[in-house]
Structure 1
Amino acid sequence: MPTPLRGLAALIADRHLEIRIEGVYRLDEVREIFRKLERRRMNGKILLRFDGPSCIRRLKHFASHSKHRSKP
């Protein structure tokens, strides 16, 4: 039995389903992306790139701060 993901991939490969990609953005562009989303100026999916030294530093910073947050 095919998994749902395989079925979805087959639909895309057979061009029965089209996924519109608005753009590929770096992590440091997230604020501007959310502004555009709030103004409904985007019509497709958004892909975030998690590469490069600045992105890795930000992810490590976020991870270290999220560990120290108290749980309700």
Structure 2
Amino acid sequence: MTEPTISRQDFDVLLARAGLTLDEKQAEDLRHAYKYVQAMAERVRTPRGREAEPAHIFVFPHEATAG
């Protein structure tokens, strides 16, 4: 298994903040998966234009504008 990206002490602080009570195996499994959470958070924080959310854009059908 690859090394986690967060120390056990720092991860314990995050667990306490979240109010999670995990056994040793659960905590270690989650700590090893934390690097994926970090990567996802970085992708979410990337600035994007409004075109990144197609549900927020309305484009008139071609027939409606040709007239």
- TM bracket, shorter-chain basis: under 0.3
TM-score, reference length from structure 2: 0.26
Which structure shows the bigger proportion of residues in strand conformation?
1
Larger Rg: 2
TM-score, reference length from structure 1: 0.25
Higher share in helix: 2
